[in-house]
Chain A
Amino acid sequence: MVKMNHMKSGIFKIGSLLAAFLFVSFFGFAQDFAPWPVPDEASVVKNPVEANKTSLEAGKSLYTLQCKACHGETGRGDGLIKAASLVSENFQSQTDGAILWKLHQGRGQMPSFKALPDDQLWNVINYVRSLSKKPEDIIMKNAVVSLFFNEKAEQKELTAKVEQVNDNGEKLPAQGIKVNVGVQKYFGILPISSTSNYTSENGEINIVFPNNIIGDENGELTIIASVDDMEFNPARVSENISWGQINPKDYWSERRALWKNNDYIPLWLLISFTVGAISVWLVIMYVALLVRKIKIEGDKSGLSD
């Protein structure tokens, strides 16, 4: 007995050590990043770039390319890894100069962006600021986007038209608006417009539609156009059209094959797996029953003894 107690307390000690270890490392991990002091001469540097539309748009595309993966779409630091929040009050309280200095320096997993020209960094700083605080002079407007298809002998053309909708319901072509056009695919939208597609004075962009996009078994595709502009609320349209290449019905992709999902599970497999699994366990249960019988038998003869 004494030995047992001894051992018990040993196990208890080890257990509590382990628990303490887990506790410390867990909360150590959950903690925020340590303060990141910035030298005064860096903090006083003024941001020479005005936060106008051009700067914000340039900043957004740079952010999407270089920062979003870690800092997340909305800058809360919730991307693929845990990164600093770019919308917290604490963050906003520092000067643009201090942020630039941090972008130059980098720390830990935050890379240094010294290699990028400063004017681009100022753009991204302007954009990051706008994540928590929209510039006041921007009033959000509404727009509709529509798609037109034009099939000529040799070439298929697609037109996306953006119209601004005024408060009284009046629609006017909107010029200089960025429109993204793409084709819906399994895992996302395949862009077919170039990245800088701004509408002309009649509110349109024209795209020569590529011939090599694969559609469904009828060649049908879903085309999606969306307005991508800081001053406009999101607007989007999707249309189906048979402009894709015909994707012949594949015998194997329709078949119940071993490598497909559970909806296509081959019946012979479903049956043999289930029957096999159940019968093994039935036998195990039968043996458990026999063991129970042994016990009952023992109790009986124990009594008669």
Chain B
Amino acid sequence: MSATPNSTSESGNKTYEQIREDLIRPLHNNSFWNQVWIRFLIIVIVLGAVAYGHQLIKGLGLTAMRDYSAWGMYISNFVFWVAVSLIGSLISAILKLLTQNWANPISRISEMIALGAITMAGASIVIDMGRPDRVLNIPLHGRIQSPIVWDFFVVNTYLVISAILLYLPLIPDIAILRDRMTKAPKWQRKIYEVLSIGWQGTQEQWRLLKKSIRIMIILILPVAFSIHTVTSWLFAVTLRTGWHSTIFGPYFVAGAFVAGSAAVVIAMYVFRKRLKLQDYLTDHHFNMMNKLVVLTLLIYLYFNINEYLVPGYSWKRLDGDHLQELLMGHEAPLFWMTQILGMVLPIILLLFKPMRKPLPSMVIALFVLIGAWIKRFLIVIPTQFHPQFPIQNVPEHFTHYIPTYTEIAVSLATLAGALLIITMLVRVFPVVPIWEEAHDRGIHKIFKAEK
């Protein structure tokens, strides 16, 4: 790792002690609004849990899923969460391997987002099951040829890897917290005590830690690509128009990086403001991060053109029906709104430097993220209304899909769940890696944990 002090120390040189205290300070802050926020999230989760309990008892009839649309909002959420979770691998692995050191201060944010998102991805799948008690039938009796079995394996593996990748770089920081946060509540001190695994910062420990991190950031790449590629195959291996596409894997992966990058920009903005990290999440970081957003958006735009232009050119019968609906028919307003507000316009705006400042870029990122969710919805649902075989003798309301209150409540609860995971992580751990920050600012003393 070559340190690039100029790029990160915009606000003058800080001593190690200053950096440490700056980054620890937010952990002491248990402000009123923080409490309100956490309670709000818990209420949303409880409401969702009640709705889910209801669904568990009454069955999936409470959702709007019927003969045509057998996959609904829950599956779109699943795809969305998997997509967002991929950001952990992009920032912590890809950028690190490319020695893009400007991204070091945001690597932990991305890992926290990844962990929250992948947890909710797993939850979304179970939520979509009418009989969640049968989830173990997938590994026990599944066909190994089935992408669903691969998905089960890869989602769980990615969950574990994300947790490890969040944890490893945290160890030295946790040791600092163990020694500094002596006034924290007992449970919190206990967490630090256990998780710091006796970190002393010896040379051997640093060697082992750096080796572990290096292995994990390489291992996460194939798994991250698999998870979203396999998720896309759940769709692509069927014969449905709009799903049966050979570029679905890379199309999904590209879209995932868009969604995740946008989520990171929003999180950066919130943490910078709420945790007063202006000196650590600087305009420079926003500038660079938003350039990354543009890059991912451009790649995604490229895949979008491929995905719609090629079938649009040949206009095979069912493809035609599907595209007609999407581009000019019933779904067109939503479709063009996401394509323009969530992709084209952000690309154009973010080309201008003032737009890459924290506030404007956060607003743009919100559009991109919401667009990313709607996009998943548009990928999953409309095509189901153009099946290869006609479905007969169904009531009129089977022929369109509008999520029910149950689905909306449960979906909002998964959103709140992801936010709660991130919030709790931020309550207990510093969002910007302390040791890496010091290292990148050219402070090269190896920190032996102070007593």
From the candidates A18, A270, A290, name the one contacting B144 in the complex (CB within 8 A).
A270
Contact in complex: B145, A259 (CB < 8 Å): yes
In the assembled complex, which residues on chain A have CB atoms less than 8 Å from the CB atom of B42? Answer: 14
Query: Smallest distance from the beta carbon of B66 to chain A beta carbons, Å?
Result: 16
The stretch of A57-65, A90-98, A171-179, A297-305 in contact with B is: A297-305
Nearest opposing residue in chain A for B187, CB measure: A4
From the candidates B144, B153, B186, B204, name the one contacting A269 in the complex (CB within 8 A).
B144
Asked whether B443 is an interface residue with its Cβ less than 8 Å from the other chain, the reply is: no
Contact in complex: A294, B205 (CB < 8 Å): yes
From the candidates B144, B198, B222, name the one contacting A273 in the complex (CB within 8 A).
B144
Known: A18-B49, A266-B145, A290-B211. A295 touches B57 (CB 8 A): no
Contact in complex: A29, B212 (CB < 8 Å): no
Query: Smallest distance from the beta carbon of B54 to chain A beta carbons, Å?
Result: 7
Contact in complex: B143, A280 (CB < 8 Å): no
Query: Smallest distance from the beta carbon of B352 to chain A beta carbons, Å?
Result: 43
Asked whether A261 is an interface residue with its Cβ less than 8 Å from the other chain, the reply is: yes
Interface string of B83-111 (1 = CB under 8 A from A): 00000000000000000000000000000
Query: Smallest distance from the beta carbon of B159 to chain A beta carbons, Å?
Result: 11
Contact in complex: A287, B199 (CB < 8 Å): no
- Cα distance A265–B146 in the bound complex, in angstroms: 10
Contact in complex: A262, B202 (CB < 8 Å): no
Asked whether B288 is an interface residue with its Cβ less than 8 Å from the other chain, the reply is: no
Interface string of A275-305 (1 = CB under 8 A from B): 0010011011011001101110111011001
Query: Smallest distance from the beta carbon of B226 to chain A beta carbons, Å?
Result: 8
Asked whether B248 is an interface residue with its Cβ less than 8 Å from the other chain, the reply is: no
Give the bracket for the number of chain B residues in contact with chain A: 35 or more
- Cα distance A291–B205 in the bound complex, in angstroms: 9
Contact in complex: A25, B57 (CB < 8 Å): yes
Asked whether B197 is an interface residue with its Cβ less than 8 Å from the other chain, the reply is: yes
Contact in complex: A258, B164 (CB < 8 Å): no
Known: A269-B144, A287-B164, A291-B212. A298 touches B199 (CB 8 A): yes
Known: A25-B53, A294-B208. A260 touches B199 (CB 8 A): no
Known: A22-B53, A25-B54, A269-B145. A4 touches B185 (CB 8 A): yes
Asked whether B148 is an interface residue with its Cβ less than 8 Å from the other chain, the reply is: no
In the assembled complex, which residues on chain A have CB atoms less than 8 Å from the CB atom of B212? Answer: 287, 290-291, 294
- Cα distance A22–B42 in the bound complex, in angstroms: 18
Asked whether A148 is an interface residue with its Cβ less than 8 Å from the other chain, the reply is: no
Query: Smallest distance from the beta carbon of A137 to chain B beta carbons, Å?
Result: 43
Contact in complex: A18, B46 (CB < 8 Å): yes
Contact in complex: A14, B185 (CB < 8 Å): no
In the assembled complex, which residues on chain B have CB atoms less than 8 Å from the CB atom of A297? Answer: 198, 200, 202, 204-205, 208
Contact in complex: B208, A1 (CB < 8 Å): no
- Cα distance A181–B122 in the bound complex, in angstroms: 50
Asked whether B171 is an interface residue with its Cβ less than 8 Å from the other chain, the reply is: yes
Asked whether A186 is an interface residue with its Cβ less than 8 Å from the other chain, the reply is: no
Contact in complex: B197, A260 (CB < 8 Å): no
From the candidates A14, A260, A280, A301, name the one contacting B202 in the complex (CB within 8 A).
A301
- Cα distance A269–B211 in the bound complex, in angstroms: 32
- Cα distance A287–B218 in the bound complex, in angstroms: 12
In the assembled complex, which residues on chain B have CB atoms less than 8 Å from the CB atom of A293? Answer: 208
Query: Smallest distance from the beta carbon of A238 to chain B beta carbons, Å?
Result: 31
Nearest opposing residue in chain A for B215, CB measure: A287
Asked whether B243 is an interface residue with its Cβ less than 8 Å from the other chain, the reply is: no
In the assembled complex, which residues on chain A have CB atoms less than 8 Å from the CB atom of B145? Answer: 258-260, 262, 265-266, 269
Asked whether A21 is an interface residue with its Cβ less than 8 Å from the other chain, the reply is: yes
Q: With contacts defined as CB atoms under 8 Å apart, how many contacts are there between chain A and chain B in the complex?
A: 97
From the candidates B144, B199, B215, name the one contacting A286 in the complex (CB within 8 A).
B215
In the assembled complex, which residues on chain B have CB atoms less than 8 Å from the CB atom of A18? Answer: 46, 49-50, 53
In the assembled complex, which residues on chain A have CB atoms less than 8 Å from the CB atom of B204? Answer: 297
Known: A265-B143, A286-B215. A294 touches B53 (CB 8 A): no
Known: A18-B50, A284-B219, A286-B215. A262 touches B199 (CB 8 A): no
Tell me how many residues of A have a C-beta within 8 Å of chain B.
38
Query: Smallest distance from the beta carbon of A305 to chain B beta carbons, Å?
Result: 8
Interface string of A36-80 (1 = CB under 8 A from B): 000000000000000000000000000000000000000000000
Contact in complex: B219, A21 (CB < 8 Å): no
- Cα distance A277–B226 in the bound complex, in angstroms: 11
In the assembled complex, which residues on chain A have CB atoms less than 8 Å from the CB atom of B446? Answer: none
Asked whether A26 is an interface residue with its Cβ less than 8 Å from the other chain, the reply is: yes
Nearest opposing residue in chain A for B30, CB measure: A3
Nearest opposing residue in chain A for B219, CB measure: A283
- Cα distance A293–B143 in the bound complex, in angstroms: 39
In the assembled complex, which residues on chain A have CB atoms less than 8 Å from the CB atom of B199? Answer: 294, 298
Centre residue among A258, A260, A297 by max chain B CB count within 10 A: A297
Of residues 39 through 60 on chain B, the ones whose CB sits less than 8 Å from some CB of chain A are 42, 46, 49-50, 53-54, 57-58
Asked whether B150 is an interface residue with its Cβ less than 8 Å from the other chain, the reply is: yes
Query: Smallest distance from the beta carbon of B410 to chain A beta carbons, Å?
Result: 14
Of residues 202 through 253 on chain B, the ones whose CB sits less than 8 Å from some CB of chain A are 202, 204-205, 208-209, 211-212, 215-216, 219, 222-223
Of residues 117 through 170 on chain B, the ones whose CB sits less than 8 Å from some CB of chain A are 143-145, 150, 153, 157, 160-161, 164, 168
Query: Smallest distance from the beta carbon of B41 to chain A beta carbons, Å?
Result: 13
Contact in complex: A284, B164 (CB < 8 Å): yes
Nearest opposing residue in chain A for B42, CB measure: A14
- Cα distance A293–B206 in the bound complex, in angstroms: 11
In the assembled complex, which residues on chain B have CB atoms less than 8 Å from the CB atom of A21? Answer: 50, 53
In the assembled complex, which residues on chain A have CB atoms less than 8 Å from the CB atom of B222? Answer: 280
Nearest opposing residue in chain B for A263, CB measure: B143
Of residues 237 through 259 on chain A, the ones whose CB sits less than 8 Å from some CB of chain B are 258-259
Centre residue among A3, A18, A293 by max chain B CB count within 10 A: A293
Centre residue among A3, A18, A266, A295 by max chain B CB count within 10 A: A295
Contact in complex: B209, A294 (CB < 8 Å): yes
- Cα distance A25–B53 in the bound complex, in angstroms: 9
- Cα distance A287–B208 in the bound complex, in angstroms: 9
Query: Smallest distance from the beta carbon of A255 to chain B beta carbons, Å?
Result: 13
Nearest opposing residue in chain A for B142, CB measure: A262
- Cα distance A269–B145 in the bound complex, in angstroms: 7
- Cα distance A270–B149 in the bound complex, in angstroms: 12
Query: Smallest distance from the beta carbon of A74 to chain B beta carbons, Å?
Result: 24
Contact in complex: B53, A277 (CB < 8 Å): no
The 16 listed contacts between A and B (C-beta, < 8 Å) are A4-B185, A4-B187, A14-B42, A29-B57, A273-B150, A277-B153, A277-B157, A280-B157, A284-B157, A291-B168, A291-B208, A294-B199, A295-B197, A298-B198, A299-B198, A305-B200
Q: A1-B186, A21-B50, A287-B212 are in contact. List 15 more A-B contacts (CB 8 A).
A: A18-B50, A22-B53, A26-B57, A29-B58, A259-B145, A280-B219, A280-B222, A283-B219, A287-B168, A290-B212, A290-B215, A291-B197, A294-B205, A294-B209, A298-B202
Closest 10 CB pairs of A and B: A298-B198, A295-B197, A290-B212, A301-B200, A287-B212, A294-B208, A301-B202, A298-B200, A25-B57, A297-B205
